[in-house]
Amino acid sequence: MLKRFLSVFFVVLFTAMTTVVTAQDTSYEQGKTYTLGGLEVTGLKSFNEQTVLTFTGLRVGQEITIPGEDLSEIINRLWGLRLFSDINFYQTRIEGDKIFLELEIVELPTLTDVKIKGVKERKAEAVLKEADVKKGEKVTEGFLSNTRNYLVNKYKKEGYLNTKVNINTIPDTTQANGVKMVINVDTGEKVKINDIQISGNEKLNNAKVKKSMKNTKEKFFGRFWKKSKFIPEDYQEDLKGIVNKYKENGYRDARIVSDSIIYNDDNTISIAIDVEEGSRYYFGDIDFVGNAAYTDAYLQNLLGIGKGEVYNGVLLAEQVSDPNPDANTIENLYQNTGYLFSSINTVEVAAVNDTIDFEIRVNEGKQAYLNRVDVIGNDKTNDHVIYRELRTRPGQLYSKDRVVRTIRELGQMGFFDPESIDIQVLNPNPQEGTVDLQYGVQEQGSSQIELQGGYGGGGFIGTLGLSFNNFAIKDLFNKDAYKPIPMGDGQRLSLRLQASRFFQTYSFSFSEPWWGGKKPVQFSVSLSRTLQFQFNPLTRDVDRDQRFAINGVTLGLAKRLRWPDDSFQLSHALTFQQYELKNYFISLFPFPDGNGNAKNFAYTVALTRNNTSVNPIFPMSGSQFNISLKLTPPYSLFNGVDYANLENDPEYQTLNEQGEVVPDEGKISQKKLDWLEFYKIKFTGAWYTNIIEKLVLKSGFEFGFLGAYNQDRGVIPFERFFLGGDGLGNFTLDGRENIQLRGYPNQQLSTVDGSAIYNKFSLELRYPITLKPSASIYALGFAEGGAGFDDYQQYNPFELKRSAGLGIRIFMPAFGLLGIDFGYGFDRVPGEQEISGWQTHFIIGQQF
């Protein structure tokens, strides 16, 4: 018995001692440095062990302190990869100074497939892209929550207040650790606003209060420009709009007491708003404090608010610091004259009865000079092309106006996406009075190709046109610059060829915007040749011995002016054209035998001003106008020809078949057309007004007059105006100008010979669908009227052919402007009994 007891005792004692020893072997001392004897990774599904070991940066044999910062940094590094949902280190054993670790990880599943239900199939892909849901994403709770919230908010903004989104994930058995995701969207019906009830208002009636709510509108039959959907964010802004409306009318203390949304049984809502108007106030004294650069009187005049006027808190804020960079405000005054670090605060200092006194406290600070001015993002356009257009240069005083003007100039170059240009103010140093500017640009396609083929006029007509709008002619012989063509110097090179069996035309033009490289003087040259042969549409025969040729060359210079301001440009051009007919009969040239020639040497001077906003495709503000004079030398003043009596001049007479002396029409026509003599005045203007958001009203006016120095010689049959239709120049052998007047057939509002005088008025309401670099699209509605007249005696500016309609424009950098208009002409076309009615016009390459 004693022996058995002793045996059991020694077994228990041995076991206990073994346990203690084992415990000591697997424990570690706090803060001790060990040598890493091994690292095992567990929980792997899609990653291999070596990849994870590489992520940790640990290697066998290195020293590691446990616990310590080493493992903490590794865990943070692994979390930063966003690949795992759980990360833990465990000690497996210790052998002397060596420690063996286990890294246990839980991998996040990978999205292998996603489907969205409840959305139209054609929109599904776009919705997923907007929500940033794509294959390969790691699926986390945050990812699922963000996706759900985005979709709910997206459809709430469209008026679907009851939108519900459920997301289900299921394992993908075909891929390790993969999951498939199904998104179920139930938007329900769109919730509209049935009515808005205003209470507590006595000073402003319901109509004025509701009108101040720009985006929250009641259901109203016929309102298409603003839907009655309810968007929570817009509604909150509109509540502020109500308060601002009261402030504009003197009610400083006006506030929203309560507002509520009532859900109706017909899936509409009613909104109840209770306002407290308060008393009406007036402006008292407005004093300026801290201003040294400008006097009180100057600032008071700029403020434009006098003592005793009805209090208008909105106007006061706008006159001090309107965010519009073109606004004539006190803040912009300081910002435009170097005071970047200035601050201007309006403080109410006293309110006695119904009168409020204010102080406008100005902290001017030091004037800021530009230290560095950089441009980033231009990977095609050379730096010097951009820097020469900058209105802000190192060493200049900072000017907000010049910064805005620079952004506008960069956008109008046509080389960059106007919507992506931004400005960063870097390293502001109020103590030293310096600041850096950095402009960010995004290149867009600036070259265009025209490739057309069609059957018309009895034969196939092919057209090839190339326009390189950022060309670099200096690299023409540098083979390394062809990517695919030399680009980056801002020059423009255009080539165009159009040909058929009986018609050929070639044209070349080149322009350098900074001729000489020092000043913004644009030099341009263009050459053209047109050759047309006699064609019989019945037999389809072409007689090359009967031909009509036009050769032309134009040289131009345009200079940016500094006065009245630097938005003006003065341009000059010299043009020479030669018309040659050989056995060719054409109504434009009254040569009885089909032989003759005419020459046209003309000088054109034009004054242009353009201060439209950044995007030249879709200007939202500003204006542009052009007034030009084109004239030839007054040959009749010094050539000694009596044009009134040419028929009686023996030199211009001949004998007919009966032997009678008659005027020689061929010689008379040749004499009158030998050197064309005329002058032409033209004015065009367009104004852009941003009504609300991106809704823009373009209003325009045009006028043209073609005159003669010598009335006996008469107005030439060239250079005339032809009104009606799309305005595209599809037939310009005689220098005619095609004037767009939609809703009528092409060129049918003028006589066969064209008009010598015309005017046109137009209104166009535009709204952009998208302004992305790849394609800019906007819709428009228009109303216009115009008319052409044979001479000034018939001219009546109010006798108009009227039209209205709708259209759309698509601008793609590679192809230019494309569009279609549906116009309705309200008046008769000359010679017709019926009104013009509906006409469809296709626009290709028209200037915007």
Q: What is the pLDDT of residue 595?
A: 83
Q: Which residues contact 158 (CB under 8 A, 6 or more apart)?
A: 190, 229
In this prediction, residue 2 carries a pLDDT of 40
Asked whether the beta carbons of 338 and 361 are under 8 A apart, the reply is: no
Kindly write down the DSSP assignment for every residue of 331-391, as one continuous string: HHHHHTTT-TT-EEEEEEEEEETTEEEEEEEEE--PPPEEEEEEEE--SSS-HHHHHTT-S
| Strand extents, DSSP E, 745-833 | 757-771, 776-789, 801-812, 816-828
Q: How far apart are CA 235 and CA 242, in angstroms?
A: 11
| Continuous H helices in 613-711 | 635-638, 665-673
pLDDT grade for 459, boundaries at 50, 70 and 90: low
Tokens of 819: 């569009």
Report pLDDT for 452. Answer: 62
Q: Per-residue confidence at 243, pLDDT binned at 50, 70, 90?
A: very high
Note whether 626 and 608 are within 8 A (CB): yes
pLDDT at 83 over 50: yes
Checking if the pLDDT of 14 tops 60, the result is no
One-letter amino acid of 395: G
The residue with tokens 């044979």 is 790
Query: For the whole model, what pTM was predicted?
Result: 0.68
pLDDT tens by residue, 639-677: 888 888 888 888 877 877 787 877 777 787 788 888 999
Q: Tokens for 798? A: 């109010």
Domain 369-440 has CATH 3.10.20.310: yes
Q: Which CATH architecture has domain 675-848?
A: Beta Barrel (2.40)
What's the confidence (pLDDT) of residue 264?
87
Higher pLDDT, 728 or 316: 316
28-37, 192-201, 301-310, 719-728, range with the lowest pLDDT: 28-37
Report the share of the chain in percent with pLDDT over 90: 42
pLDDT score of 334 more than 50:
yes
Q: Is the pLDDT of residue 27 over 60?
A: no
Contact 705, 715 (CB under 8 A): no
SS3 304: coil
Tell me, what's the pLDDT at 433?
93
Provide the pLDDT for residue 244. Answer: 93
* Whole-number Å distance between alpha carbons of 631 and 80: 73
Give the residue-averaged pLDDT of 620-648.
90
- pLDDT of 578 higher than 80: yes
Per residue in 668-685, is it b (16+ CB within 10 Å) or e — as a string?
Answer: bbbbbbeebbbbbebebe
Q: What is the 3-state secondary structure (H, E, C) of 498-518?
A: EECCCEEEEEEEEEECCCCCC
**Nearest alpha carbon to residue 326 among 623, 569, 700:** 623
Give the C-alpha separation, 425 to 423, whole Å. Answer: 7
For residue 13, the model assigns a pLDDT of 39
Please give the mean pLDDT across all residues of the chain: 86
Mean pLDDT of 375-398: 93
How high is the pLDDT of residue 25?
45
Round the CA-based radius of gyration of the chain to a whole number and report it.
39
Q: How far apart are alpha carbons 171 and 178 in whole angstroms?
A: 6
Q: Would you state the pLDDT for residue 295? A: 94
* Segment 671-694 mean pLDDT: 91
What are 306-333's pLDDT values in tens digits? 999 999 999 999 999 987 887 889 999 9
91-117: pLDDT as tens digits = 888 888 888 888 888 888 888 888 888
Superfamily of segment(s) 282-363: membrane protein fhac (3.10.20.310)
pLDDT tier at 1 (50, 70, 90 boundaries)?
Answer: very low
Alpha helices in 81-211 (DSSP H): 121-130, 141-156, 206-211
Distances (CA, A) of 214 to 132, 156, 211, 326, 441: 31, 18, 7, 23, 33
Q: So what CATH class is 192-276?
A: alpha beta
| Highest-confidence segment of 87-101, 238-252, 605-619 | 238-252
Q: Which of 205-219, 278-292, 321-335 has the highest mean predicted lDDT (pLDDT)?
A: 278-292
d(CA 708, CA 74): 89
* Kind plus residue range of the DSSP H or E element containing 653: strand 653-655
Output the pLDDT for position 188: 84
pLDDT tier, 225 (very low <50, low <70, confident <90, very high otherwise): low
**Is the per-residue pLDDT at 68 higher than 80?**
no
Task: Check if the beta carbon of residue 100 is closer than 8 Å to that of residue 91.
Answer: yes
Q: Check residue 451 and give its pLDDT.
A: 67
- Give the integer Cα–Cα distance in Å for 829 and 796: 17
Element holding 844 (H helix, E strand): strand 835-844
Closest CA to 519 of 469, 569, 446: 569
Exposed (0-12), middle (13-18) or buried (19+): which is 266, by Cβ within 10 Å?
Answer: exposed
Largest separation between any pair of C-alpha atoms in the chain:
171
Q: Where in the chain are the domains?
A: 23-107, 111-186, 192-276, 282-363, 369-440, 634-672, 675-848
Q: Model confidence over 800-828: pLDDT tens digits?
A: 999 999 999 998 876 677 889 999 999 99
Residue 19 has pLDDT above 60, yes or no: no
For the residues 833-838, what does the mean pLDDT come to?
91
pLDDT band at 22 (very low <50, low <70, confident <90, very high): very low
- Report the candidate in 141, 127, 233 with the shortest Cα–Cα distance to residue 187: 127
pLDDT of residue 498: 82
CA atoms lying within 13 Å on the CB side of residue 433: 11
Q: What is the DSSP letter of 317?
A: H
Looking at 2.60.120.640, 3.50.30.60, 3.40.309.10, 3.10.20.310, the CATH number of the domain 111-186 comes to 3.10.20.310
pLDDT tens figures, 755-810: 999 999 999 999 999 887 778 899 999 999 999 999 888 899 889 999 999 999 99
d(CA 581, CA 588): 11
pLDDT tens by residue, 402-456: 999 899 889 888 888 888 899 999 999 999 999 999 999 998 877 777 666 555 5
**Is the pLDDT score of 29 beyond 60?**
no
Name the class of domain 23-107: alpha beta
> Is the model more confident about 752 or about 319?
319
Same fold, 282-363 and 675-848: no
**CA-wise closest residue to 610 among 558, 566, 571:** 566
pLDDT per residue as tens digits for the range 475-523:
888 888 888 888 999 999 999 888 877 778 899 999 999 998 888 999 9
Q: What is the pLDDT of residue 278?
A: 92
